[in-house]
Structure 1
């Protein structure tokens, strides 16, 4: 079958001379390209071509008004909105980023009101009256009002206040529409609908003179706006224009077919009706005229597949088979109603299609550069006092562009941040000679657009990236430049930096607000921004969205996503104008959209010979996935024969089998090395043994397989962070005290000025931990402030108790090198234990082995046996402290002393009667020696089990233990 544009070219070539006196107007630019291609077939010698333009360009040529881009229009609308409502106390003006969404909706409504030549004053008055009724709340019964009062105290007052605020916006819509139009007109500007109304309402003989001497042809139109309808009628009525409709008898002559809705209306039009031929073409149900299938109806095959990606895979397979059978790629079209399937489709086609043309743009929001820009803005939002939050810093250092600039520098800095657990990272640490790194890790201040422009342009200059990345950078710079042109001054007004130190906090808050606003606006703008694919539009297999198919015909057509919600789409655009008023004023409704898309569906099929339709055969709980109504109409109403296949790929859930690691020779050798006290392995620590008793498999992952736990900066205020800081502060305090005194003997007077020293030590520890600038005052805010206050309180409480306990001898602080060999009845014959004891002090005959605990550790345990029971209830802290006592007893020579193990823990530290010692049942442990024989015997049994080749490493049976395990991703617990 001949394409519509081919038939049109043939008709115009025969009936119009000279061709350059002809202007042909199409719905879109792609039709222009294809018409030019078809017209060239009939031209035997070089000649001047007719003028080929779109309807938008034709109407724009009839006026001097110009249409700015959407960003500028919405920004101008925002300014008009602000001026209009600034005197109204109920409606404080929103910032531009929050207005953008509503402004876009308003602009769309204004555009439709004008394109459909609706009386704006009457419409907005009716709209205001309806909203006034909707907001009156008069329909509430007394009982409902009383019920609402329980939640909303001054119910009537709130009703009145909210009603005023609500109605003010609706009442001002006509004023906003009018003032906005006047402001644009004063500068020779208009939005598209306003321009169309201006032309349609000012049609005159003078305007007709603009196209004098030209014959006009309107080709391939369907759903016309009232303005387009009036403009086309004006020229047709004067004999200056003709219309060629792209239609089919199948849906035009069937009153129940929504695809022909608009054509049936135009047939009744006093002017447009005359342009319809009596003989409407019947291509849709016609038999094929040529080829091996001549005399046969078109071939239509329907494929149901599981999920959208399944459709893409099946389509690629079917296309591969058809290409092998000899179909022409240049006469083949793939239609994607759901643009999210573009990448899966391209992935499936990559190896089978030599040339490909894609009419849809690639969403900028899916590019790595968009992700980078988001991170940059978020990092600047969270920046405080020349420091950046670790989350954005780590993400940026791992970003492909930052790594491509210098991988060694990026990885080294990531490693240091993680190892030091820096929640905030100073920009001096991030300073680098690498140009991209240097630009990224600077303070952006108010000029966020300039900051981003510098970075994106530097990325565009890099050599280690692809041409795609350079293309992304080019389009991002264009967008940023446009944002700067339209709203750069507004951002500077919002954030004018002050110079006084007193205003610095306020300046930081203002900057954060401005950047958050910019990020919100940037995200909204980027959603509609797409990067066009470059290529030869008339060559190769074509991939298009639904709207791009207008007027185009292909022999082989593949359409995906034929499901309700996708084709036709259910994603209606928001509007200030409700359905009933839209219908009353003949503005587009859902029925209008469905009729338009129905036409596009049948139109792309009507001249096709081989049709392949794909839908998602799996319906979800919300009904999504139901077969498209268009496809069902085709199956049950068309009378055409359809081959239907449903391809199932059932997913059989694989049961999660328990993970067990048997001990082989390699494992046993690794275990043996753990007991060898060399430079790499210092034996088994108390924490490692705790891990083994909780979960043998976790012990294997960590100690044997040496699988590193995921690196992450702990930002939350957990026990580990507090513990590290408290340990460091108390270690420095007592070590310096012993150095100053040159003695281990501690007296009460030594604590007289301890508070000041503790504060200084906290500063030192923070400077080291967070890589801050030495000698510079530490700024405490957020988590740091909380950590400092908690550690300070703990440290002061410990000092207070120590002062009361003095005099005593501080035997050890953070004592390392405590080793002890436990003999076992399995090879290698003994196991080396090692540990680092927080603190050991002595008074009289009492030697206290103390462990600092900032978690919720308890002091009591039922018995020594309970410490070796494998469940989540065992007291790990008590086990660890008893093991420290065993290590110290084995290493120290304090004869005649009683070793008393104990915890200084968060839960009990601030009790008035706090005692640090452990308790067995209700009795305090005043001497560890009676407990050690049983403890050591049970420890020996545990170690023999660990070194038993027949006992595998298996998972714990207690799911509570798995809750915070770093290896959850391996076990799927």
Structure 2
């Protein structure tokens, strides 16, 4: 099998001879690494490599702008928001950040598709006015405020744009718009440079403009990665965008649309496997890989449509997988140490003074703390024993080892809604953790968390409105969601594990894809936007149908040159998962090519049915001795009931003295109330054992009942 990148190198070498004068632009840095590796493998002699960059790097070069960090953009946009005269009542940063991400995403889309912003925002304002036309005479202050927000969007956009450009920064869409505006200047300065764009599909309007301008110079070129099976089918969405470029680009009115291969119709074996639950999928993958030879593993890629399966998959890899390259990172937010600070912030957000026992339990039992504090387990046991529902810092210090007092003070001191104190305490906790013996992944987690809190501290110093714990928590959540832990390995050897987007322009002989379910592949509709569907259609912005076409392209691209493909889907119906296989699998079935074979398998866990036997415990002399000991006291009604209903329970609880798991009781449980009544009656009636009760005896007991019940409650 020849990959697309190998074929591209052969084509370029034949056309240009030496590739050192070329600037090659690819969809991602990962694709550039694979291209360079193929160049090394095909090189017959020492030569200079071409300049290989990602499209994002190229766009930054053309625009002379740097793409701003999403968190920095959020703060910078809030500063802009505060300056807007058209919005008299400003919202707090906490409230602003809850909707600003969607708005900034819309600004990004508007710029990527080069919309006339004046026309667009006026249209958007008119829609809102029409929606509220019946309130023209008696608009409430809330409606007035709502409409003022929509009327301010154009001013907001323009002010933010000017502020960012002044600092030579921009969000991705703004950088693309600036590059589209400046492409003629770039071409003038780089007339002799030969640009080759490789493996692109869904281009935004800015990218289309840039590529069409560059194609006006004959030495620039675009090499597409598509297959005639999809490209020539006018109804197939896999080549929706490429057919549009062929029909509408001025360049293709004079030049042929080349680089359309015919690989999909070659013999292929597809296996559709239905497996219950996500964990079942990764276990099946592990069993399948165990049957592969080393040669097969070297030409195999596992594609995770749901990237949350990465860690379970790594734990399921068999022993014969000795080389693996993971092109995707693990989100820091999924790491146990990262979840600890989420718990801590949630606890600290509650009123100070005392701590609910479940909050104390969640903090002290977390691995981040339990592995540091020697007395954590003993403290939790003491809280359960004393049935303490709310604990103060003083109480927690009193039941702990003095060696743990410092860390307890950090955890349970009153932060008084002081963001600076919160950040300082978290940094100190991380410093203490870094001095312990940690596993490799824990060390990396601590290191990244320290970087996160350093960023928060820097933002806290730079901006005055980062004042509440809620703001710090929101910022923390965003930073850990955008931070990944990267794996190190042999990049181009052994088994490859990647997400769908990382597979662009890459080809493999064998692929195993998980979570090929409707709602995951494609991902379904998303409404995180202020722009309505009809407005998107009016201005040719991508909607869910275009996004589905992108997923279709990625899926079919993976199958173009493959020889065997194992496609797994989750059959379990739970929550948002319908257990429905993806439409892509149904398309392969309905439009099955004669050279393709499709097998269907449904896998379920292997359940071993053991023969049930009656449990028997011989009454040894020791057991009989213990029974005599119990009988010498007394049998409670509950113990006799236990013996009759289930003698095994009686044996464990009474003979072996194995107690049930003890929990803190917030309200008196029925069993506890029964014990209190039983013990109270026993104390009150003991003085009258072997006597005939009289009215006077009962009257003497009555005044003692309240005090004795209180005594038993305290016990």
TM over 0.5, shorter chain: yes
Which residue does 1:371 correspond to in 2?
339
The answer as to whether partners of 1:220 and 1:245 remain within 8 angstroms in 2 is: yes
Q: Deviations over 1:675-733 (max 9, x none)?
A: 55xxxxxx459xx545656996676664444333334334x3x358xxxxxxxxxxxxx
Structure 2 match to 1:670: 626
For 1:433, what is the secondary structure of its paired residue?
Answer: helix
Could you tell me whether the CA contact under 8 Å between 1:389 and 1:425 is conserved in 2?
no
Matched, 1:182 2:136: no
- Counterpart pick for 2:657 among 685, 699, 706: 706
C-alpha separation between the residues in 2 aligned to 1:38 and 1:396? 51
Structure 1 counterpart SS, 2:64: coil
- Separation in structure 1 between the aligned mates of residue 517 and residue 694 of structure 2, nearest angstrom: 85
What whole-Å deviation, never above 9, does each CA across 1:339-361 have from its counterpart, x for those lacking one? 12223322221423111111221
User: 2:62 aligned with 1:263, yes or no?
Assistant: no
Q: Provide the C-alpha distance between the structure 2 equivalents of 1:668 and 1:132, rounded to a whole number of angstroms.
A: 88
Q: CA deviation at 1:276?
A: 4.7
Note the alpha carbon deviations across 1:614-638, whole angstroms, 9 max, x for none.
Answer: 2234556978222211111111114
Question: What SS does the corresponding residue of 1:62 show, helix, strand or coil?
Answer: helix
- Please state whether the residue corresponding to 1:197 is helix, strand or coil: helix
Identify the residue that residue 643 of structure 1 maps to in structure 2: 598
Q: Distance in 1 between matches of 2:434 and 2:214?
A: 50
TM-superposed CA distance for 1:560, in Å, is 1.6
Aligned to 2:297: 329
Residue matched to 1:411: 377
SS state at 1:53 partner: strand
Q: How far has the Cα of 1:536 moved from its partner?
A: 2.3
Deviation at 1:221, TM superposition (A): 0.5
What stretches of structure 1 of length at least 5 have no aligned partner? 140-155, 287-296, 496-513, 677-682, 721-852, 858-874, 910-915, 917-973
Counterpart position of 2:689: 890
More helix by share: 2
Cα displacement (A) at 1:604: 1.0
Counterpart in 1 of 2:713?
A: none
Match of 1:613 among 567, 574, 597: 567
Is the partner of 1:45 in helix, strand or coil? coil
CA distance in 2: counterparts of 1:879 and 1:41, whole angstroms: 84
Return the TM-score normalized by structure 1.
0.65
Q: In structure 1, the residue corresponding to 2:234 is in which secondary structure?
A: coil
Rounded Cα–Cα distance in structure 2 between residues aligned with 1:275 and 1:478: 52
Check the 8 A contact 2:223/2:259 in 1, yes or no: no
Moved more, 333-342 or 251-260: 333-342
Aligned to 1:171: 151
Alignment of 1:128-527 (within 5 A): 128-136=125-133, 160-204=140-184, 206-273=185-252, 276-277=256-257, 280-286=260-266, 297-321=267-291, 323-324=292-293, 327-382=295-350, 384-385=352-353, 388-407=355-374, 409-422=375-388, 423-427=390-394, 428-429=397-398, 432-434=402-404, 439-445=410-416, 446=418, 447=420, 448-463=422-437, 465-490=438-463, 495=467, 514-527=468-481
DSSP 3-state at the match of 1:574: coil
User: In the TM superposition, what whole-angstrom CA distance separates every residue of 1:30-74 from its partner, at most 9, and x where no partner exists?
Assistant: 110111011113323322211100111011111332222100001
| Cα shift at 1:18 | 4.5
Alignment-derived partner of residue 9 in structure 2:
9
Distance 1:347 1:652, change over 3 A: closer
Would you say the 8 A contact 1:216–1:240 is kept in 2? Answer: yes
In structure 2, stretches of 5+ residues that fail to align are 710-715
Using a 3 Å threshold, how does the CA distance of structure 1 residues 394 and 310 change in structure 2: closer, same or farther?
Answer: closer
Shift in CA distance, 412/298, structure 1 to aligned 2, threshold 3 Å: same
Once the two structures are overlaid, the 10-residue window that deviates more, 525-534 or 71-80, is: 525-534
- Structure 1 137/558 Cα, relative in aligned 2: closer, same or farther at 3 Å? farther
Matched residue, 2:74 = 74
Q: 1:538 to 1:439 in 2, by over 3 A?
A: farther
Deviation at 1:330, TM superposition (A): 2.1
SS at match of 1:587: coil
Who is 1:939 aligned against? none
Q: What is the DSSP-based 3-state SS (H/G/I as helix, E as strand, rest coil) of the residue aligned with 2:566?
A: strand
1 CA distance for matches of 2:366 and 2:85? 44
Query: When the two structures are aligned, how many residues end up with a matched partner?
Result: 691
Q: Could you tell me how far apart the structure 1 residues matched to 2:686 and 2:370 are?
A: 47
Deviations 1:940-963 (A, max 9, x none): xxxxxxxxxxxxxxxxxxxxxxxx
Q: CA deviation at 1:653?
A: 13
Separation of aligned partners in 2, 1:102 and 1:275: 46
What is residue 122 of structure 2 aligned with on the other side?
125
Report the RMSD for the aligned CA atoms in angstroms: 3.5
Larger RCO (alpha carbons 8 Å, 6+ apart): 2
Matching residue of 2:712: none
Cα distance in structure 1, aligned partners of 2:150 and 2:675: 66
Cα distance in 2 for residues equivalent to 1:557 and 1:43: 27
